[in-house]
Structure 1
């Protein structure tokens, strides 16, 4: 019988940590080894998340057997994650880490420190692989031991714009208006996340600059073959527990519009379908998608269309911010690094309505 992949989770008491547990216990090739969560050390996981109580799992203050794990998922805040990654590699240099914080997403240390402050393990930056499989899969090697799992906003937005930039049919100046559920802000208590503040309300934030903007810029510049892409990014908070919708637009090239003037919408859908042909988790849909349609799943639904009057491409993209935007994508990366089908353990469809 083939041995299972041994997996431990650090930071299991956050939303991302709980979602990792929910998904990993259904993975046929995974054995959960240890769960670390200092705020609930010594307690049953069910005390923190009652929906996980039937699993009978417990939480430790610190991993006791890191070297036994094939993969360790880090669901910690930035800074803390880099410090913990460095500790783990000292104890278990052959264990692979999938980090769900922002600590290894930005390749340039100066850019990172502009947005997040001093980096606590900069020497690890050169070996970190950016883990958006649909765009960076070819960079995976047998020696990859550190994966920077993408942010939810960058995942949702970059998948929407990558085909058009790759095919050079839009100008490298993109506008992204993105809406997120409140779970993206974590479990911490904040006044603007209280029910009485959020109910029947929506708000924009990060108008002077958001930390995910340089991450989106890095991805799209890569896709655009190292030609700098300028990103205008505005995030919004919506009265949803989970879910993300991004409306992404850019000016189409006059040559492309002239070539496909008879039916630009059919042409743009064909381009997107060809770009993502064979991708399990990216679907090109024929009507504007809603966040409800991908709730609980690892799918990204894309609806590309052409605003003919404005001469602009408009793409609607939806994901579940806790699955494709976090835990699900992390498991997709684990599968990829393990030589398993990327969809293994992630085949569940969205929950609707």
Structure 2
């Protein structure tokens, strides 16, 4: 593992599985758990943890299937249940009772599940997956097909998966992990310093590439585009067949919620070019049955609607748009994002 930034330490925790994590700040500080998303690790938060805060105890674990945490299969039929249970066990092992939870992308669904199981001080949704999962739903969350075809591991780009499996560190191909990170994680005009980019590419390449990890297994379907989610692996866990946190307004008690979203996000968007409805409409995937049958998924609108319902049900939901930021405003607008988040945690 390459050298950590000043004030950041690495370690392992014997939880439900052995979890690798980064930490910074005082041992008795207010705990803030930073949970990464798909094809990333805790190091994608490291820059926020250095220099160490006097108030906050930052913890950034590597989640199941990624980084240096013990490899373990993902049961997709539980949605992000495995991640949520791992996080709960991790908190118990560390004696943390009421953390502030930050969930980036995939992890948004996981931290919602944690909050349903135990008290938390706050929830920060950082460009989270839609409350109705990723791909193949109408605006109200209904599936486009009864078997949820058009979502899950079966629609992953096989060339990209092959590049991950090969450990490709180059920038020679549009589908290399380096170029996918540069073009989908951050704002279009943002570029990490080369040494930091190299480090994060190496972190991505620690991912477990298999039917139990990324992308997962798949099944065929009679419905367009011919593939439906299987039962194993991360992309299936994100399918609307299994991933759902639209129940958030029913939480009791209701922790304060902050939603931050990059307006240039191409991963979680109203019409993401990584989602089959948008790709079909654009003619990239042939045979699209039309918007009446399989519309582009309005992910941002779905998130907003659920959080408005959360506020109407008595919760506090703050929504902040990061103009021009991509899928990771905590990286491409790090200073502003951290200032906003720390102000929110302090007021929670």
The interval holding the TM-score normalised by the smaller chain is 0.3 to 0.5
TM-score relative to the length of structure 1: 0.33
TM-score relative to the length of structure 2: 0.33
In proportion to residue count, which structure has more helix? 1
From the CA coordinates, give the structure whose radius of gyration is larger: 1
